[in-house]
Structure 1
Amino acid sequence: MADMTAKTVNSEIQKYVRYESDYSWFLDNDCETHGTSCPPPNTNSHIETVYCYLEKNMNMVDGFINNYFSSFDEDLKNKLRSLVYTLFVEGGKKDISISYEHGGSIVGTLIQVIGCSINENTFHAALGIVRYTKTASSDHCFSPGYWKANESRIENALQYMFYKDVIKRI
């Protein structure tokens, strides 16, 4: 049964490979001042993923999240805990947020939980937090309409980043 659930989780993760073009698009730049010829912005990505078995015990899950995802703030860890609990009840979930500051940064955050039950007390799962920040160079700014109209592509790009990281752990 464990092999079957591993294949189920793997096949779900493999679906994200189709988002590679959105990932490439997301890495490109579109500046209100310079259009697509804008120099590269400062970027910062922070990705943590894990491919694991989880016991259906929230105290154990809480300790695991605190230890493994210790470099993330408490708000993100709380969202991850909530998604893990949801996994125990109804299957995998995700939480996505995108923020934009005019003349500042674009931040995309994906919290993803993919898993399935092995038995009533154990789940096979891939968990991860992906946070990607793009900060425009001085005298440059990202076009808010461009990013707002393409939120689904940003989500896809973050899921591709999740895929690239978690696939190394399988």
Structure 2
Amino acid sequence: MGDARIAPEVATKGSIVLPMIKLMRQNRQRALRILPEDLHHYLDERVIVTHWYPGSDHHRLTRVMGELVDNDWELLGRGLALAELTGAYRHVLKSREPVRTLRALPGLWKLNHNTGDLDVQWDAPVATVVVKNWGLALQEHVAIMRAYMLQLLELCDAIAPRVRVTRHEPPPDSLVIVESEFGEPALK
């Protein structure tokens, strides 16, 4: 049922789960065919953005979403960034200030994940995001994270952003390093 690589205490906020569920509801019949039966309740129950949901459920929902979008993790990461950064967490996004926006990520991380410590280091023109001990540092989630960061940089007008994962070690002793290279726009 679950994934043995995900510890039982790992949890994710509803703000991350909700965009996936909305998409599944729009494609309900197809989602029901793919979604494990014990997760069908997500299609009918209200997902509360402030509640914590089991990491194993989040991972399995992510895998189903992958099937619905032909494993286009880029699409999912960008979609999550758009949902969060133009919605509930729009205050995090600082127009034309990509470095300032990236520096807000540790706080945003703690709002959405109960595992992992995120740190941002800036050495122009490269920002390095390091996440240690993330209970969901599996391939799909890391790919989504990379795309999320690219969308974030584009939303705050970073110049020619490029984002790549330079290191990925899965749980239990996970380590993810994502480097973003970009130019800073002139402030108006």
TM interval, short-chain normalised: under 0.3
> Which one has more relative contact order, counting CA pairs under 8 Å at least 6 apart?
1
- TM-score, normalisation: structure 2: 0.24
Larger Rg computed on CA atoms: 1
